[in-house]
Chain A
Amino acid sequence: MQFRLYALIIFLLFSTIGCYATITGTVVDSETGEPIEGAVVLVEWTKTHGFGLTYTESYKVIETVTDKDGKVTIAGVFNPTVNPPQVTVYKKGYVAWNNEFKFPNYEKKKDFKWTNDLAIQMVRFDENKYTYNDHVMFIHGSINYGLPGSEKKLMEEVISWEQLKALEERQKVK
């Protein structure tokens, strides 16, 4: 009887891993607090295969845009084997926002916590402070650009102008 109880406790503990609820959030301008309409929000769940030697591939990608109040809602994934979701938000003229990393130095976000209504504050992109090349590489990293098994058409479309800017910068330097 005791064994079954322990087994049940262990099962209940582990069964909650990998079940990711609906993501809701509000995207605002960090200076004015005004909601940002039309920001592209990309959420990706990945799956790591193997034990010891591993590889990762995309499990599910959802792309959407914020409404006039800057709000976004994305359905969760209920699969105990997937990794926690990565969220990236992009709006032209702003620094891309990612739930795991900070721009420009890729510092890991230690203060990020999942809440019922994520407050996503976007900082304006300062051309005098940052390069488009660094920003594009940050976005590519954030959206797992090129991860096998995933299509991110909407995000790729909206960042294309910035990719060209990055290319111009590189060619100027060389």
Chain B
Amino acid sequence: MTRKFIALISYLIWLSLTFSTVWAFDDQDTHPRITEKSVSNSNLDKYLNKNLGFTSGSLSIVNGKPIIKVLREGSTDEDSPLCRPSNHFHNPLKPWDQSYMTDQPWWLDLYCSSWNPRYSNVAWGTGYISPAPDGSKITIGTQQMGWDNAREYYHLALTSQSSADRETNFAMTFQSLGQVIHLIEDIEVLDYVRRGA
């Protein structure tokens, strides 16, 4: 019986030694907080009021929710589902089409195999695999909430025939904007730009 116990303890020690740590912003608190602070410091309220007729700025309601709530929700949602954050890393020493995370633990790699290929944070957010504005772009099938998607939802919000469609697309615009802001926030974290370096 003692052997079994030693084996169990050894397994737990092995597990703790092989686990690599990544420092990250908390998606429940820090990400949405930075997002809201960014909104507060920006001209978004004024822009929404003057250009889009949202007189209460970021407190205006779209699709049943205040815009600021949707932006916060987006910056939390970017970490869901589990393997999505595999695309939140960027190694600035490599070309953008190779600057994705390369040292993911094998078991996580296996678990997230359906999310292969992985992309750099920049490519994931913008589609660019070489510097804009003249760089090459790709379309990522699993990405529906990137910068280009936000622009597309915005276009639909402005041009859709029915008010219900316009509301839905405005909500999607702000949700995806929140998700893109999350990506910019992640790039501020050293651990997110050291992967593979």
Contacts and interface: CB of A to CB of B under 8 A. Distances in A.
Interface of A: 1-4, 6, 46, 48-50, 52-57, 106, 133, 137, 140-141, 144-148, 163-164, 167, 170-171, 174
A140 B30 CA distance: 11
B27 A55 contact: yes
Nearest to A52: B108
Contacts of A141: 29, 32-33, 36
A140 B72 CA distance: 9
A169 to B, nearest CB: 9
B95 interface: no
B72 A56 contact: no
Given A53-B82, A137-B33, A140-B72, 17 more contacts: A1-B1, A3-B5, A50-B82, A53-B85, A53-B112, A55-B27, A137-B36, A141-B33, A146-B32, A147-B28, A147-B73, A148-B76, A164-B56, A167-B45, A167-B59, A170-B40, A170-B57
Contact of A144 (B2, B29, B108, B112): B29
A49 B32 CA distance: 18
Given A52-B108, A146-B76, A167 B33 contact: no
Interface class of chain B by DSSP = helix
B81 interface: yes
Contacts of B43: 174
B45 A170 contact: yes
Contacts of A170: 40, 45, 57
Contacts of B84: 53
B80 interface: yes
Nearest to A44: B28
A167 B76 contact: no
Contacts of B86: 53
Interface string B70-83: 11110011011111
Given A3-B4, A146-B69, A133 B82 contact: no
Contact of B79 (A46, A52, A54, A171): A54
A54 B76 CA distance: 11
Contacts of B79: 53-56
B151 interface: no
B82 A55 contact: yes
Nearest to B88: A53
Contact of B80 (A55, A167, A171): A55
Which are the 7 A-B pairs with shortest beta-carbon distances? A146-B72, A3-B1, A146-B73, A55-B80, A55-B79, A56-B28, A50-B82
B46 interface: yes
B92 interface: no
B53 interface: no
A174 to B, nearest CB: 6
A117 B141 CA distance: 53
5 contacts: A53-B86, A141-B29, A146-B73, A167-B59, A170-B40
Contacts of B28: 46, 48, 56, 144, 147
Contacts of B82: 49-50, 53-55
B105 interface: yes
A170 to B, nearest CB: 6
A53 B73 CA distance: 18
A151 to B, nearest CB: 11
Given A137-B40, A141-B32, A164-B59, A147 B76 contact: yes
Nearest to A58: B28
